[in-house]
Structure 1
Amino acid sequence: MLISSAPLRISLAGGGTDLPSYARLHEGVVLGAAIDRRVAVVASTSRTTAATRGAARACLDQCCRTADLPAVANPYARAALERYWDRNPLEIASMGDVPPGTGMGSSAAFCVAMVGALSPRSVTTPVQLAEAAAQIEMGALGRPVGGQDHYLSALGGFRLMRFRRDGSTEVESVEVSARTRARLDKELMLFYSGVTRDAAVILAAQDSHSRAENGDVLERLHGIKALTTDMLQALTSGDCDAVGSILHTHWELKQGLSSKVSLSRIDTFYAEARAAGATGGKLLGAGGGGYVLLHVPEAGQADVRALAQAHSFIEEPFRFELAGHRISQP
């Protein structure tokens, strides 16, 4: 039995420019980091018997025992099993620290953990693991998402990712001092809106605008990409105060990508949080609900927490995580 786990992530700047519809024309750049919230897949191989030969028992969205993979309801698991299961008896189950569809990259983390649990011989490095997971979500399932989540989940830490026109990806480690990480752990606050959504539905609108070369959307994406330079400077120099203002600029640019990016109750909460002391923030992932990240100096945190409670937002404490995918045994 083994536990294959992969961290969730926070995109700090450049999110959305990793979608192929933008990156293949203009090259995307994303800066993000893994956090200490994870998705885990527990896998157990059992002794072959007449009853278990060539069968898998999967307890994911629902439990099923089958040798017929189309019966596996979870599309990510089904695609991973189709590609990497060696047909030896297998039992798998999964669990995660946050609900799916909340902008934390949980689908990518699940794909990373799932491929890691199946341990294919063709996947031997974290980069290969990221690419295998991305191929499941973007290739096999055809979802209009980008590749940042898979790299952050597989590699962990702070990463700057460049998505080239030829479809290749270059990943650089970003060195953030322990002192800066500790301060950001205290000053960045994460709140769950209580709303889940399918990121592909929201990103499909951006994808369509990018393919049609919508001028306003492209200019906003160019601006979001440019923020990665500012965020990189802020992180490596330890300028945590600048992080909030960069996040706020990101918020304003992202609002115009699609009418589905935000909700009125989230906009109201964000405006009131800014008035109470937050210097900036962003909707994680595609938007449309999920989690809101805020930069709040310590003096304003009590007031922001009170606002969150009044608006029925739930705080999710977190820390940045340097470790990526890992395998452990119970």
Structure 2
Amino acid sequence: MIYRSKAPLRIGLAGGGTDVSPYSDEYGGAILNATVSLSAHASIEPLQENTIIVEALDRKEEERYDWAPALPINGKLDLLKGVYNRIHAMYGLPLTGFRLSTFVDAPAGSGLGTSSTLVVAILGAFVELLKLPLGDYDIAHLAYQIEREDLQLAGGKQDQYAATFGGVNFMEFYGDDKVIVNPLRIRPEYLHELGNNLVLYFTATSRESAHIIKEQVKNVNNKDEKSIKAMHQLKEQAKMMKEALLKGRLNEIGEILDFGFEQKRRIAHNISNETIELIYTAAKKSGATGGKISGAGGGGFMIFYCPGNTRYAVIETLNTFGGEIKNYTFTKYGLTTWTIS
């Protein structure tokens, strides 16, 4: 038997960064995101030997261990081992050897929530294997605990919930780990137009988001007025984006993205850089009305809103920077699990 799962990556459309503690704990955060047809995949295959094999097929990395109740967290495939350690600590299973394999459709550090989505996918495979009675909120919160508490990785909360729930969601974040996921009922023609006009561009660079997020956290702890005010504005941006999408005011999307990108630059250093600014300026000159860096910033994917038929001129311009246009569609479904014999 093989126990499989997949979870979708997401595009953050508005409010990015307000899901990070301590800002979300003190002021409340709001995010609007949408999952896309790029996924993190995980599978578990029980073995007849007392060996645990963890492997990231996309990165060609593999670790082998004698069966143990906990695997060492040493910088090698820690996301995979961290999920196993938590599952075994909570449920005491599995007690035999197995092979855990993963694959992600986008590179790590790309800004589409790859790490958190991978944790959700791995959890899904264990839920399928062990038939665990966990709901969507349970899985998302457990994924958050594994990353932020067990593995001490810096970051926010939106990615785990986006990957688990799927679809277009307006999310609210409060103290005591309270999260409310509000699925948005957007008319199909609005969503089709959004997908047609929103260009996803990989800058051909990845980045370590932890450094940017740690500075953001430091600025909130130090009551940095400029940074906190910008985050308040990003929270408002999420509300603006929700209203524009629900009411079909798609002509406002670019300006809302542009407003958010201006605020995002004020949260921490290194969110943008000279290359990103050159790309952003060129895309706007070619017809985009706004855009943003996906994720914490510093590199990875960017998105641009291109109304009318301007996407083609914008794509032609973006191709001159040596990156890659990534085709995608929006998806309705979140974490999916199944078993094959």
What range is the shorter-chain TM-score in?
Answer: over 0.9
Aligned length: 325
CA distance in 2 between counterparts of 1:260 and 1:157 reads: 30
Matched, 1:65 2:64: yes
Moved more, 201-210 or 61-70: 61-70
Matched, 1:77 2:73: no
1:13–1:123 CA distance, 2 compared to 1 (3 A): farther
Matched, 1:5 2:13: no
Match of 1:111 among 119, 124, 148: 119
Matched, 1:244 2:258: no
1:329–1:166 CA distance, 2 compared to 1 (3 A): closer
Match of 1:39 in 2: 40
1:38–1:97: 8 Å Cα contact kept in structure 2? yes
2:254–2:304: 8 Å Cα contact kept in structure 1? yes
Match of 1:178 in 2: 188
TM-score, normalised by the number of residues in structure 2: 0.92
Task: Give the superposition deviation at 1:123.
Answer: 4.9
CA distance in 1 between counterparts of 2:313 and 2:188 reads: 27
CA RMSD of aligned residues (A): 1.5
Task: Give the superposition deviation at 1:200.
Answer: 1.1
Q: Deviations along 1:226-272, whole A, 9 cap, x unmatched? A: 11111111111112111111001001111111221012111111111
CA distance in 2 between counterparts of 1:158 and 1:64 reads: 36
CA distance in 1 between counterparts of 2:255 and 2:30 reads: 19
CA distance in 2 between counterparts of 1:160 and 1:35 reads: 15
Overall identity of the aligned pairs, in %: 26
Q: Deviations along 1:185-209, whole A, 9 cap, x unmatched? A: 1110000001111111111111100
Task: Give the superposition deviation at 1:71.
Answer: 7.1
CA distance in 1 between counterparts of 2:84 and 2:221 reads: 32
2:9–2:37: 8 Å Cα contact kept in structure 1? yes
CA distance in 1 between counterparts of 2:275 and 2:97 reads: 48
CA distance in 2 between counterparts of 1:64 and 1:266 reads: 36
CA distance in 2 between counterparts of 1:179 and 1:123 reads: 37
Match of 1:299 among 309, 332, 336: 309
CA distance in 2 between counterparts of 1:71 and 1:146 reads: 21
Trace 1:196-207 onto structure 2 (pairs within 5 A).
196-207=206-217
1:123–1:129: 8 Å Cα contact kept in structure 2? no
2:123–2:143: 8 Å Cα contact kept in structure 1? yes
1:74–1:220 CA distance, 2 compared to 1 (3 A): same
Match of 1:169 in 2: 179
Trace 1:146-157 onto structure 2 (pairs within 5 A).
146-157=156-167
Structure 1: 5+ residue runs without aligned partners? none
CA distance in 2 between counterparts of 1:36 and 1:128 reads: 24
1:253–1:71 CA distance, 2 compared to 1 (3 A): closer
Match of 2:104 in 1: 96
CA distance in 2 between counterparts of 1:129 and 1:121 reads: 13
Matched, 1:264 2:266: no
CA distance in 2 between counterparts of 1:171 and 1:160 reads: 6
CA distance in 2 between counterparts of 1:226 and 1:20 reads: 18
Structure 2: 5+ residue runs without aligned partners? none
Match of 2:22 in 1: 21
1:123–1:132: 8 Å Cα contact kept in structure 2? no
Task: Give the superposition deviation at 1:121.
Answer: 5.4
CA distance in 1 between counterparts of 2:116 and 2:258 reads: 26
1:71–1:30 CA distance, 2 compared to 1 (3 A): closer
CA distance in 1 between counterparts of 2:259 and 2:78 reads: 36
2:46–2:98: 8 Å Cα contact kept in structure 1? yes
1:64–1:71: 8 Å Cα contact kept in structure 2? no
2:42–2:125: 8 Å Cα contact kept in structure 1? yes
Q: Deviations along 1:55-101, whole A, 9 cap, x unmatched? A: 31111252122125117721111111101142322111111111010
Aligned to 2:310, the other structure's residue is in SS state helix
Moved more, 282-291 or 28-37: 28-37
Task: Give the superposition deviation at 1:164.
Answer: 1.2
Task: Give the superposition deviation at 1:328.
Answer: 3.0
CA distance in 2 between counterparts of 1:236 and 1:71 reads: 44
Aligned to 1:128, the other structure's residue is in SS state helix
1:190–1:316: 8 Å Cα contact kept in structure 2? yes
Match of 1:285 in 2: 295
Task: Give the superposition deviation at 1:215.
Answer: 0.2
Match of 2:222 in 1: 212
